[in-house]
Structures are given as C-alpha cells and as structure tokens.
Amino acid sequence: MSKWILVICYILLAPFIGGLLEGIDRKISAKMQRRVGPPLLQPFYDVIKLFNKETINVATAQTFLILTYFILMVLTGVMFWAGSDMLMCFFILSTAATFLYFAAVVTSSPYSSIGAQRELIQMMAYEPAVLLTCVGFYLAAGSFNVGDIAQTSVSYLVYLPGCFVAFVFILTIKMRKSPFDTSTSHHMHQELVKGLTTEMGSKNLALFQVTEWYENVFLLGVIGLFVVNTNPISILAAVLVILAVYFLEILIDNSSARMKWQDMLKITWILTFFSAGVNLVVLMIMK
Amino acid sequence: MAVVPFLVLFPFCVSFVMFLTRNSKARAALAYVCSAVIVGAALTLLVQWIMGGCTTITCYADTELVDHVILGAELLLMVFVTVLCFKYRKYWISLLSIIPTMLIAYFELYGPEVEECDHIYIDHLSILMVLIIAVIGTLIIIYAVGYMHGYHKHHADLEDRRYYFFSLLFLFLGAMFGFVLSEDLLWIDFFWELTSIISFLLIGYTKEEQAIHNSFRALWMNLFGGTALAIGIVYFGYNAGTVSLHALVEAGVAGKVVATIPVALIAFAALTKAAQMPFSTWLIGAMVAPTPSSALLHSATMVKAGIYVLLRLSPAMAETTTGTMIAFIGGFTFLITSFMAIAQSDAKKVLAFSTISNLGLMVACAGVGTPETIWAAVFLMLFHAISKSLLFQDVGATENCLHSRDVEDMHGLLFILPRLAIFMFIGIAGMFLAPFGMLISKWSALKASVDERNIMLVFFICFGSATTSFYWTKWMGKIISASHLKEKTFRDVTKPNETFSLTIHAVLMVLLCMLFPMLSEVYVNPLITSMFGEAQNVLPQGVLYTLVAVIVVVFAVPVLSYAYSKRMRKTFVLSYMNGINTGDNRKFTDSFGDEKTLWLSNFYFHKVIGQRKLMIPSQIFALAFLVIMLSMILGGVSL
C-alpha cells in the first residue's frame, strides 16, 4: 500500500519538487555570481507561459516524440517508487532518452542534430556507471528490486562508496550541468545555440522542461537509495545527502567551463572504471 | 524417423537439380516448391517429436554404409579444396584440409574399434535449430529469388551464375540440418567442413579479386578451426573409445581428464566458426558476398553452428579453464567489435560487426555455462536470427533501390522508401529496444556473471551495452530524420517475394516479443532441464509477463501520442540555421549571400576507434590470451 502512496506522490509532486529545486538552483547560482537572480518560482512562471503559447513545430513528429519521452520518463519514476526492478527502470529511462534523441534529429536542423549526437555520446558515457551501480546494489542486497534494496539495516553507502562517487559524477551529465552540458548548453551565447532543444518551442519546450524535473527527482531518489535503511531517521539523512549532492552540482556548474565531449567520455569512463569498478571487485571478494 | 534423412538428403538432391536448371522461371518455381517442402518436413519432425512426448530421441545406430559414404565425400571435399587452392596459388591452405581429413580417415580405417552409438540425436535444442534453419533459411531463399534478379541487373559486368548460387544455398541447408541432428562426432566434423566450404564458395561468388582474397581468408580460418575439431575428435576417440558427442559432454561433466583436451579444442573450433576474436576478420570480409548469403550463412544460421556446439558443450565447460577462456573471449569480442561497429558507415559492415558482437555475448553466456546464462543464450540466438536476417535482407533491398548501402545515404529513408524503412526500424528495435537485445540479455548475463564472481565479464557487458546502444540509436535516428533530398526520388523496386520474406520476418519478430514468456515456459525451460537436470528462469514467470506489459506500453505510447498529436493544431516554422533559411529547411544563405545546401552526418570516430586502429591490436591480444589459456589447459592435463 505504502508504495502506491509513494507512486502517487511522485506523479503529483515530482514536477513541483523539480521546479522548486531549479528555482533554488537559479537563486544560488545568482548569489555565486553576485547577482540578485530571479524569484524562486520563476521556473514555474516560465513553464506556464510556455504552455499557454501557440504550438509551433519544425517537423510533424516532434510533438508525439516529446510526449513519448515525457510518458516514459514518468513511467521510469513510477517503476522506481513502486519498488520494482532497478535494471528495468534504467531500461525504460534509456528508451525515453532514445525518444528525446529522435525528437531532436527528426527536424534535420543543424544545431539540434549536433546537440542530439552529443546527447548520444553522453548516454554512452554515463551508461556503464549506471549499470555498475545496479550491479553494486545487487551484490550488496542480493536483489535488483528497489523494494528489497530499501529493506536494509545498514546504508549501502558503506558498501558502495565507489559506486556513489561514480553515480554523483554522471549526475552532472544527466542534469546537463557544466562542464558536461555538451548537448544543450544552458549558458547563453554558445556555438551550439541551444543544442538538442533548439527546435523545441512553446508547449514542446514546456513539456521537455517538466520531463527534466521528473527525471531529476527520479535520479535524486537513486541517490537517496544509497542512504536509506530500515531506521526512519535515515530518511532525513537521505534528504540531507540529496540536498548536499544538489548543492555540489550547482557548485561544479558555476565553477567550471564546458569540456569537450572527447574529454568528457574519457574522464567519465576512467572514473567509472576505477571508482565503481574497484568498488565492485572489493565487494566481490568481501561478500 | 524417416524424416531425418529426408531433411538432409532432400536439399542435397534439390541442390543438384538447381545446378542443372538454367532457366530462371523454372528455377524460381523450383525454389518456392522445395522451400515449402523443407518447411513441411521440419514441421513433420516437430509434430512427430511432440507426439513422442517431447523426449530425447536417438536413432540410427547401425550405419556402416553411410559412414563410408561420408568418408568418401570428405575425401572428395579435400581433393576439391586442394585443387582450388592450387589454382589460386594458396598452396598452404590445402594443408589445413588435407591434414584433418587424413587424420579422420586414418582413424576411421585403422584406428581402434569405437563403441557403437546412435548417430542421430533429437532433443529440444536440435529441434529449435532445425526450425530456425528451415524457416529463416527458406525465407531467405525465397527472398534471394527476387534479390538476385535485381543484383545481376545492377551488376551487368558479372557472370550470371544463379544456378550455382541457389545450388549452394540448398546444399548449405542440408549440411546445416545434418550438423544439428548428428550425434556422431565424425558426422559433425563432415558437416562442419561442408558448411565452411560452402561459405567459402559463396563469398567468392562474384570472382572479383577482393572476393577471392576474402573467401580464402574465410576458408583458412574455418579450416583451421576444423583442424582443431578433427584433432579433438580423434584424441577423444583414441582415449575414450567412443565418438559420441553426449559421451564427451558426460565425461566432461563428470570431470574426467580424457574430456578436457577435446572439449577445449572443439570449443576453440567453435570460436573460429562464430567469428570471435582473433578470427573476426573473415566475417567482415564475407560481406562482399551477395546479401542473401550474408543473411543466411554469416548471420542467421552458419555462425550459429559455433554457438550450437558451445551450448552443447556448456555443461562440460562450466567452472573449468576452458569455460573461463571462452567466456573471456566472448565478452572481449562483444565489447571491442561494438566499438568498431560505431566507426562503420557501410550498413552491411555495421551489421557484420554487430553480428560478431552479439555472437560474443552468446559465446560468453555459453562459457559461463550456468542454466541462467544458457537460457539467455538460447533466447539471444532466437531473437538475433530473426532480426538480423530481417535487417540484412532489408539493407539488401534498400541497396537495390538507393544504389548505396551507406547509412548516411539512408537519411530520411522513412520518406524515401517508407515500407523498407519501417521494416528496418522493426529489425533494429528487435535488436536492441525489444526486451532481448537491450534488457534481458544484460539482465541475465549480468546476474549470472555477478553470481559467478566474473568481474571481467561484468565490465565487458556494462561498457559493451553502452556502445551497442550508440550505434543502433544513431542509425535509427538517420532513418527518421527529415530528408535532404526533395528533388530526387527513388522508386521502391522491391519484388513481391522479397516483401513476402520481409513481412514474415517482421511478424515473427513482433510475435516473439509478445510471446516469449510463454515460449520460455513451454520450450526453453524444458530445454535447460534436459541439459542440466534443472531449469531456472533468470526471472520469475510473473516478472516476464510484467516485462511484456512494459514492452507493450513502451510501443503503445508512441502510437497513442501520435494519434493525440495528430489532432493538435500546430503551426509549422522553419528551423534555425544561423543564416537565412531559404524556405524548406534544406538550404541557407551564408554571409556572402551564397546559397549553401545543408548536409548532416553522424559521428563515426573512425580515426580513433576504427577497424584499422583497433583490429590488429585486439587480434594480437586475443591470440596471446588463447595461446596462454590453451597451453595452461594442455599443461594441466599432462601434469
């Protein structure tokens, strides 16, 4: 029963939490740059305004591809919060990402195609870390089921520090933060224009934005999974860790310049191999 | 069980008649009728076997005459290969045919008296193989009737030897049936050599210089494997006094020393057949052959012979040095060839690399040799056979229309050749979006390799699946992009028989995705039970059904969203070009006022991870690894 409450909470609250986190992000970033920054609720104003605009498309298929991206992303989160199989969650997540790629290339627009190609490279960069993290949970908990994994007396952070580092690292890619914002470039005036999202306008862009919020909440949920155990206080600890990780991402975003995708791929894979990989080897010997 | 010799001999007879039939209408009619007969025979075998209670059937114990005929045929093959090798001045390759054949002949004529065994073995695995060969094989032949017609129209400079081509295809079907139904290792060896030589002849079909060069490379690699196979068989025959495959597996499972070397050598031979590192280059070179032969031999069936042997041996390989060797080579091949697939833009080459890569995953599963991994390997084999055959045929048909098989030229294929593009999409989705390519294989292989504490394999799978998604997704994206070409149109010249084959493949693909939990319950689990004495789904049945539900959702969502978005009112705008878009998203005006045509291309990184860069180092590495492991196995026995 409790898992269905979680699922419903996710469906209803995730966009608000995601939007709020983005508002906080903008506020903190502004403070770091000695600006005042927009109001906390600015992301919501933006999205509402976009939703009220006329739908514009470059290609016929765009809207339905983005809609599919959205629905599959929500499904990913639902599967996660319902406590089902972790590999299945990430399988649906990558299927969703594939549809985002399709939505970008279907236009044959130069900037959005370049962004899309880079998005594919990003997917290739982060996937090993995601899979190795799943394997780590399986080794530690004996199951891929999120529901079973959460039933533990000791937080998995103890067993999986390497996987945690790798996962936080690829979170920078997934959240499209600098130095790894190679596919969308959220900072102004760059060679990529807006990359992947260049050709998304009005309702499509709004939907894309909301989907990103859903995704972020799901990913932060995975971070939480590293911390929670059967002790109720651990939930509080999980929230604190999540906030700390989010702050870290903002800090990295504001203190680094964009990297070339070649370097991103190399660094991510090397770090994944040595951090998550070594962690797994040790765990295999221990367990 | 009279249908068993019929299955083997009928295609041989058809092959002979085909060779004599020089009229293309008559040949087409003959091909259709005989294909139907072969499928009918395979189904008869299935029904008879089900009526017998789906148990293992062995038969034909006393076959002295047939043994002599087979020996004679083997000697004939040897003479044939030797003549060809001398004709094309590849003298040393003939040794690879002479040595094993003489070895086998000596063993049969002057060797010790071997225990009589049944020569035919019918169980779940062989029935499955027979069905794959019969259904996919004959569909490819039907496709080939139309395809070869177009092929010779475009390549008017080539000599039209279609009678020879179809003759070889039918001969091949017979050889494959013989291979998967035989229990006697000497028979297996004969059919093995026969498939190697047919593959060699088909690669050299066009008689162009490149084709001849590649065909001899395929020949020596496969014959080299065949030599290992022959040595393994003769060694086992001398030391154990029997040449039955199941006796070998039982000896291996019981941990008898006598089985160690034969299992290692036969598994090594299977690596050459399945084009694993360091023997992958022959399959890449084989792509010069006409597409139907690539689909039939080099993707759907012949390379699966290697997997079939490994699956048979897998109980004997589990937890041995041989098993470790095979699993490592498989995993390594899976990763490294998926890199090379990224760097290819020739569609057939992409398919070739991805075939090797997928075979690598199956080989790794067989090498680990637990019930779960075999379960995964069987399903991988089934999905791969159908979707790869579909993709090869589709690329062939596309090439006949576009006169190019470069993935870059398929930009906007959905708008140029919609029907072929949809088939291609289904094929690719079946390869990696559907449950088996991307999810279950990863799932089960990962789970099993974690359970077996095989960390190297975990790394190979995790990194390899990332690279695999990359090259498939970028190909799919190419197909659906808005087309660059508005002025130029292409005519869909796909013939009805080609469409027939493609449609059935696509339908089979979709059915397989929907029905695999049922198939697992009624067929694959009993298969595992008959091999290991126990069956285990990697995932509980309930989860499998949930998975199907998820897959349906994943595929239904785009359809529903499409229906919804179609009703939406929307305004179309031009894409942003950072210059003036001239009005149709295909050209822009640059800063000098000139019109520039836009041309988009995918990433390939061929300078970093191309075949030229990676192939030789990884071949050296794999070869060194094999040499070390084989010497360890041999040393372990002699000590």
B65-87 confidence digits (pLDDT tens): 888 898 899 999 999 999 999 99
pLDDT level of residue B333 (50, 70, 90 thresholds): very high
Cβ contacts of B476 on chain A, cutoff 8 Å: 98, 102
In this complex, do A111 and B578 lie within 8 Å of one another by their Cβ atoms? Answer: yes
Q: Which residues contact B327 (CB under 8 A, 6 or more apart)?
A: B363, B364, B367, B368, B449, B454, B457
Alpha carbon of B260: minimum distance to chain A alpha carbons (Å): 28
pTM over 0.90: yes
Q: What is the mean pLDDT of residues B500-521?
A: 86
Q: Quick one: which of B252, B256, B255, B258 has its CA closest to B235? A: B258
Q: What is the mean pLDDT of residues B183-192?
A: 91
Q: Which of B469, B477, B547 sits opposite A105 (nearest CB)?
A: B477
Distance CA B432, CA B631 (A): 37
Distance CA B318, CA B324 (A): 8
Q: Which residues contact B573 (CB under 8 A, 6 or more apart)?
A: A56, A57, A58, A201
Q: Token pair for residue B276?
A: 């694993």
Q: What is the mean pLDDT of residues B268-275?
A: 93
Q: What is the mean pLDDT of residues A228-243?
A: 90
Q: Which residues contact B119 (CB under 8 A, 6 or more apart)?
A: B59, B60, B61, B63, B66, B182, B183, B184, B187
Distance CA B498, CA B492 (A): 12
pLDDT on residue B197? 93
Q: Token pair for residue A97?
A: 């990402």
The segment with the largest mean pLDDT, out of A274-278, B2-6, B414-418, B521-525, is: A274-278
pLDDT digits (tens, 9 = 90+) for A137-162: 988 888 888 888 888 888 888 889 99
Long-range contacts from B159-166, C-beta under 8 angstroms, 24+ separation: B159/B207, B161/B205, B162/B24, B162/B27, B163/B18, B163/B19, B163/B20, B163/B21, B163/B22, B163/B27, B164/B19, B164/B205, B165/B202, B165/B205, B165/B290, B165/B293, B166/B18, B166/B27, B166/B31, B166/B141
Is A190 at the interface with chain B, CB within 8 A? no
Is A148 at the interface with chain B, CB within 8 A? no
Asked if residues B379 and B398 have their Cβ atoms less than 8 Å apart, the reply is no
Per DSSP, B408 falls in state G
Annotated domain spans of chain B: 318-568+601-611
Q: Of A55-64, A144-153, A173-182, where does mean pLDDT reach its minimum?
A: A55-64
Query: Does residue B576 sit in helix, strand or coil?
Result: coil
Virtual torsion, Cα B313, B319, B324, B328, nearest 10 deg:
80
Q: Which of A63, A87, A110 sits opposite B600 (nearest CB)?
A: A110
The count of residues in chain B is 639
Q: With pLDDT > 70 as the criterion, what percentage of chain B qualifies?
A: 95
pLDDT digits (tens, 9 = 90+) for B461-491: 889 988 988 999 989 888 888 776 665 677 7
pLDDT on residue B539? 66
The pLDDT of residue B533 is above 60: yes
Q: What is the mean pLDDT of residues B553-570?
A: 70
Asked if residues A181 and A115 have their Cβ atoms less than 8 Å apart, the reply is no
In this complex, do A110 and B598 lie within 8 Å of one another by their Cβ atoms? Answer: yes
E strand or H helix that includes residue B581: strand B580-581
Q: What is the mean pLDDT of residues B617-630?
A: 91
Cβ contacts of B481 on chain A, cutoff 8 Å: 105-108, 113
Is B598 at the interface with chain A, CB within 8 A? yes
In this complex, do A111 and B598 lie within 8 Å of one another by their Cβ atoms? Answer: no
In this complex, do B480 and A121 lie within 8 Å of one another by their Cβ atoms? Answer: no
Distance CA B568, CA B3 (A): 59
Mutate to test the interface with A, among B463, B479, B485, B598 (most CBs of A within 10 A): B463
Asked if residues B330 and B366 have their Cβ atoms less than 8 Å apart, the reply is yes
Cβ contacts of A273 on chain B, cutoff 8 Å: 459
The pLDDT of residue B561 is above 70: no
Amino acid at B317: M
Q: What is the mean pLDDT of residues B441-459?
A: 79
Annotated domain spans of chain A: 2-286
Amino acid at A55: T
Asked if residues A127 and A94 have their Cβ atoms less than 8 Å apart, the reply is yes
pLDDT on residue B565? 66
pLDDT digits (tens, 9 = 90+) for B543-556: 777 777 777 777 77
Q: Quick one: which of B458, B527, B574 has its CA closest to B315? A: B527
Is B476 at the interface with chain A, CB within 8 A? yes
Of residues B482 and B332, which shows the higher confidence score?
A: B332
Amino acid at A57: N
Half-sphere exposure of B89 (CA within 13 A, CB side): 0
SS3 letters across B119-177 = CEEECHHHHHHHHHHHHHHHHHHHHHHHHHHHHHHHCCCCCCCHHHHHHHHHHHHHHHH
Tell me, rounded to whole angstroms, the distance of Cα A195 from its chain centroid. 18
In this complex, do A120 and B466 lie within 8 Å of one another by their Cβ atoms? Answer: no
The pLDDT of residue A173 is above 80: yes
pLDDT on residue B439? 67
In this complex, do A57 and B573 lie within 8 Å of one another by their Cβ atoms? Answer: yes
Output the DSSP codes for A160-181.
-HHHHHHHHHHHHHHTT-TTS-
The count of residues in chain A is 287
Residue that the structure tokens 């162009």 belong to: B208
pLDDT on residue A189? 62
Q: Which residues contact A218 (CB under 8 A, 6 or more apart)?
A: A14, A73, A76, A77, A80, A89, A93
pLDDT level of residue A46 (50, 70, 90 thresholds): very high
Q: What is the mean pLDDT of residues B373-380?
A: 86
In this complex, do A198 and B480 lie within 8 Å of one another by their Cβ atoms? Answer: no
pLDDT on residue B438? 55
The pLDDT of residue B20 is above 70: yes
Q: Of A176-190, B24-38, B496-510, B514-528, where does mean pLDDT reach its minimum?
A: A176-190
Cβ contacts of A269 on chain B, cutoff 8 Å: 463
pLDDT on residue B306? 92
pLDDT on residue A232? 87
In this complex, do A123 and B466 lie within 8 Å of one another by their Cβ atoms? Answer: yes
Q: Which of A55, A63, A106 sits opposite B482 (nearest CB)?
A: A106
Is B37 at the interface with chain A, CB within 8 A? no
Cβ contacts of A88 on chain B, cutoff 8 Å: 439, 547, 550
Query: Predicted ipTM?
Result: 0.92
Strands (E), B55-127: 57-59, 120-122
The pLDDT of residue A217 is above 60: yes
Q: Using alpha carbons only, give the angle B501, B35, B33 rounded to the nearest 5 degrees.
A: 110
pLDDT digits (tens, 9 = 90+) for B133-170: 999 999 999 999 988 888 888 888 888 888 999 999 99
Is A116 at the interface with chain B, CB within 8 A? yes
In this complex, do B463 and A120 lie within 8 Å of one another by their Cβ atoms? Answer: no
Q: With pLDDT > 90 as the criterion, what percentage of chain B qualifies?
A: 35
Alpha carbon of B469: minimum distance to chain A alpha carbons (Å): 8
Cβ contacts of A79 on chain B, cutoff 8 Å: 550
Q: Token pair for residue A239?
A: 């929230």
In this complex, do A55 and B465 lie within 8 Å of one another by their Cβ atoms? Answer: no
Q: With pLDDT > 90 as the criterion, what percentage of chain A qualifies?
A: 46
